[in-house]
Amino acid sequence: MSKYVIETTDATFKKEVLESEIPVLVDFWAPWCGPCRIVAPVIEELSGEYAGQFKFVKVNTDENGASAAQYGVMSIPTLAIFKGGELVDAVIGAVPKNMLAQKIDEHLQPVSS
């Protein structure tokens, strides 16, 4: 796994995701999930490209169901984007790298007042 991707648990979710100073992409996944394995290398690539601007976190839903349930994750992979402790966007399923990068870019833009 990339040095820029953090595995978190229900116990560390608040600290790693909700209290993060920068936006976070959370990959809700499970080891048996085929599409999860397809999207994993994309997340690893993006984590290096956006290092320092965006945080990348993986949550194994088999072992950490409370976090997934709290945010209504019904299908995996669900790639959820959090900013300022709030869920602001999500993509369900294995999506192409350019689509995921576009979503990340949208959330890097400063909020206009």
* Distance from C-alpha of 31 to C-alpha of 48, rounded to nearest angstrom: 22
In this structure, how many other beta carbons lie within 10 angstroms of the beta carbon of residue 8? Answer: 19
73 is catalytic: no
Find out whether 87 and 55 touch, Cβ atoms under 8 Å.
Answer: no
In this structure, how many other beta carbons lie within 10 angstroms of the beta carbon of residue 17? Answer: 22
Choose among 86, 108, 107, 47: nearest CA to 39: 47
* Distance from C-alpha of 62 to C-alpha of 90, rounded to nearest angstrom: 19
33 is catalytic: yes
Q: Identify the active-site residue in 5, 6, 26, 33.
A: 33
Q: Identify the active-site residue in 36, 59, 68, 94.
A: 36
Positions annotated as catalytic residues are 33, 36
